[in-house]
Chain A
């Protein structure tokens, strides 16, 4: 606060509010934990205001916020880890506990819970791409720009994520299950 009134703040507040549910979902998929996810969203919003001058009106606010969230998350991982120099999301594996509400009236509630739980076992970088492509239905090139990776990386992560998730869901639960 306490900025001069003439300070250009083109970041649209209503749209930022409207983006919160999607940010929360993305954060939940990244962290696998509702309260950590909301912390991440809060940090992301704070960062967005901090960087508001970099926002270009007319571009996709959701993608811009997703980029910030991704970066905040990666940075936080590097802070909490000793090997700060070399953190990547592919080493960030299964999430702790998935907290995703599944409505009671959904027909195959158990199957959906199982799906979400298995999704939590994918590496974070694959979860992310899967969420953005399959759930957010973003264009591949937008995803590449959001995560700052080449298109080919998006495609290979998406392909691996879908194949692995399918394997995980199809497999009968067994302690001897080999996860590649």
Chain B
């Protein structure tokens, strides 16, 4: 075999330097390298460059890992999120719950019960997907921009058959980007998109709830890395979604809830 050596090409030198050459070829190439110092230098250069790159880039591996990445690696299972929520955010949820009329005990239990009914957990999941889809869209996150807020609200109100409002989140640093109509399971859903100075986006999604769900409580879900606070109030389902931490999202959800309650109380309530 070595009597009729196949000529070596550039790719062979790389394969050899990277230790990816078959042993027969290695023997032949090494014989060639012994005779050809120019070729040997090229191989040495490749190896030296790789070693230098590893020296330069290996320190990244020992950098401390940010908490958000550790969180993103966690399985998005119910058990996991529930235990973490109960452990870390029990008091916060108690505060949130106090806002809601008719809150009882057994928050987790009810969530599971509602999940069995196919509501409104599905809504949370859908809200998260919808948020992820449109929030990632740099150029066209919304159908109607905030400069036409009035038109937007009128349009969405008409399509939902129910009065909707875009809450003012400016006090929290989020301004309205605009909104759009999105498809829900059975019913159309209104989406309002907000953005802060860091271009973090949030979306509030609103749709009519199924009439058989009379339960009102704040619930929290993480779907595909998107946090969602959702609740049902007066036969309307609300979901606020974003890639922000739970405490912040809860604060936003409370603001939205509070504003909608005020708006609701102020209007003659035709329903």
Contact = CB atoms under 8 A, between A and B. Distances in A.
Interface of A: 1-3, 5, 7, 9, 11, 13, 16-17, 20-22, 24-25, 28-29, 38, 41-43, 45-47, 49-50, 76, 79-80, 100-103, 106, 111-113, 115-116, 119, 130-131, 133-135, 137, 139-140, 155, 158-159, 162, 165-166
Size range of the interface on B? 35 or more
A95 B187 CA distance: 45
A28 B63 CA distance: 12
A81 to B, nearest CB: 9
Contact of B56 (A43, A112, A137, A155): A112
Interface of B: 10-11, 14-15, 18-20, 45-46, 49-50, 52-63, 65-66, 68-70, 72-82, 111, 115, 121, 124-125, 136-139, 221-226, 243
Contact of B221 (A2, A5, A140): A2
17 contacts: A1-B221, A2-B223, A5-B79, A13-B75, A20-B69, A20-B73, A45-B225, A46-B226, A49-B76, A50-B224, A79-B139, A106-B55, A115-B52, A134-B54, A155-B14, A162-B14, A166-B49
Given A2-B78, A135-B53, A38 B66 contact: yes
B78 A139 contact: no
Contacts of A165: 49
B15 A21 contact: no
Given A1-B80, A42-B69, A45-B225, A162 B49 contact: yes
Contacts of B69: 20, 24, 38, 41-42, 45
Contacts of B68: 38, 42
A47 B63 CA distance: 23
Contact of A2 (B49, B58, B111): B111
A130 B97 CA distance: 53
Contacts of B60: 21, 24-25, 28, 100-101
A101 B121 CA distance: 44
Contacts, number: 144
A21 B73 contact: no
Q: How would you classify the secondary structure of chain B's contact residues: helix, strand, loop or mixed?
A: helix
A155 B58 CA distance: 23
Among A2, A11, A45, the most chain B Cβ lie within 10 Å of the Cβ of: A2
Given A1-B221, A3-B78, A140-B20, A25 B10 contact: no
Nearest to A47: B224
Contacts of A24: 60-61, 63, 65, 69
Contacts of A111: 52
A67 to B, nearest CB: 17
Nearest to B52: A115
Given A3-B78, A29-B57, A119-B53, 16 more contacts: A1-B77, A2-B78, A3-B76, A3-B77, A9-B77, A11-B75, A13-B74, A17-B70, A21-B65, A41-B72, A42-B68, A100-B57, A139-B20, A162-B46, A165-B49, A166-B49
Contact of B223 (A1, A13, A47, A162): A1
Contacts of A21: 60-63, 65
A24 B60 CA distance: 8
Contacts of A100: 56-57, 59-60
B130 to A, nearest CB: 14
Given A11-B75, A46-B224, A134 B62 contact: no
Nearest to B48: A166
A137 to B, nearest CB: 7
Contacts of B53: 115-116, 119, 130-131, 134-135
Contacts of A134: 18, 49-50, 53-54
Contacts of A119: 53
Given A42-B72, A42-B225, A79 B77 contact: no
Nearest to A112: B56
Contact of B54 (A9, A28, A135): A135
Nearest to A84: B139
A93 B45 CA distance: 24
